Amino acid sequence: MGDESSLSRQIASVERSVVFLRQEHLTLLHGLHLEILSLQKRCSELQEEEEILEDSCRHMENHLSERECTLGELRKELTHKGALVGALRANLKEKERHFLEELKRRSHCSTILNTELQKQTEAAAYLSFQLHAARQKLHHQRMQQRQALLARANSQGAQCRQEPHLPLPVVKPKRKSARASSRVERARECVPIEKVMGPAEPTAMPDPALFLHPRRHRARSRHTVAQRQPPMGLEKENEEEGGGEGPVEPQGEAARLVSSAAAPPAAETKAD
């Protein structure tokens, strides 16, 4: 009896342990099943991430290949532009050399033209001075002739006064017709004014620089002409005192005219 009771107790304990083991096994299976599901879910997520990463890798590879192509094109364009820059630099140096040669040639031509202009200015001043001197000489000759004629007329008048006076016959005045008066007026108009009023007084010689540089020397020429032109009374006194010797101051006027005419071209050459 004791053996049976102990055996039954052992069987009951074994059954309880089996039930416990079954429960533990069920809980373990449930946990494993949940773990498998979570792992499957994680695996699917990782697969999706892997696909996304593969797509991004493909996209990056395509983008990298495109960048490499553009980089090659840019390198080709850079080499082409470098060649163009070299050609442009050579062309620029050639143009600069031609420009310097042209500038040198034009500066040489400008200096030659300035010297020619200065020579022509001096020649014009000298010719104008000669013309003025000739006019002065002609005026003095005319004045001498006029004085000689006046002296001759005065001597003839004195001789006539010394002769005895004769009775003049009485002449009746005739009526002048309109044609005769018109003829007399025409004859008076044809007679030059120099024979009636005497030779005209010569004017002062104009400044030759006025004709060469009209805008620049207009005020200066007016001022110099106003200073050079003496009063009428002083000019007549100088003519009477000088007699037939001619003008005394043409050399000083010539030097002054030549210096005033040659000064503007020299200033222009300095400015150039």
| Digit-coded pLDDT (tens) for 76-111 | 999 999 999 999 999 999 999 999 999 999 999 999
**pLDDT-wise least confident of 3-12, 22-31, 172-181, 259-268:** 259-268
* d(C-alpha 146, C-alpha 140), whole Å: 10
* d(C-alpha 169, C-alpha 72), whole Å: 135
- Does position 172 have pLDDT exceeding 70, yes or no? no
Tens digit of each residue's pLDDT (9 = 90 or more) over 220-247: 555 555 555 554 444 444 444 444 444 4
204: pLDDT confidence band, cut at 50, 70 and 90? low
Average pLDDT over residues 18-25: 91
Average pLDDT over residues 14-43: 92
CA end-to-end span of the chain: 151
Cβ count within 10 A of residue 146: 13
Look up the pTM and report it: 0.34
